[in-house]
């Protein structure tokens, strides 16, 4: 449902609705903060960077770099 709403907002922006563009940018900011909070919680619970990276669809190294994890040797 949320995905459809976002795609619809993207279509409205493409059609010239500048107000929706600002809302999309705000949503992106909020989504990024929610993901970072989720990663922080997973790390606090003992999840590995490899497991977190799998959920993010990225590499362990990229997850660590983006979300401030300690660099392991």
Residues 57 and 51 sit within 8 Å (Cβ to Cβ): no
Quick one: which of 48, 3, 6, 40 has its CA closest to 23? 6
Q: What is the pLDDT of residues 38-52, one digit of tens each?
A: 999 999 999 999 999
pLDDT at 47: 96
Structure token pair of residue 52: 């977190």
pLDDT at 48: 96
User: What is d(CA 14, CA 67) in angstroms, rounded to the nearest whole number?
Assistant: 31
- Residue 70 clears pLDDT 80, i.e. is over it: no
Q: What pTM did the predictor assign? A: 0.78
Residues 41 and 55 sit within 8 Å (Cβ to Cβ): no
């Amino acid at each position: 449902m949320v995905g459809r709403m976002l795609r619809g907002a993207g279509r409205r922006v493409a059609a010239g609705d500048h107000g929706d563009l600002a809302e999309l940018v705000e949503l992106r900011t909020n989504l990024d903060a929610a993901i970072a909070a989720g990663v922080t919680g997973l790390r606090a619970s003992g999840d590995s960077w490899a497991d977190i990276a799998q959920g993010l669809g990225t590499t362990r190294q990229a997850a660590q770099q983006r979300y401030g994890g300690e660099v392991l040797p």
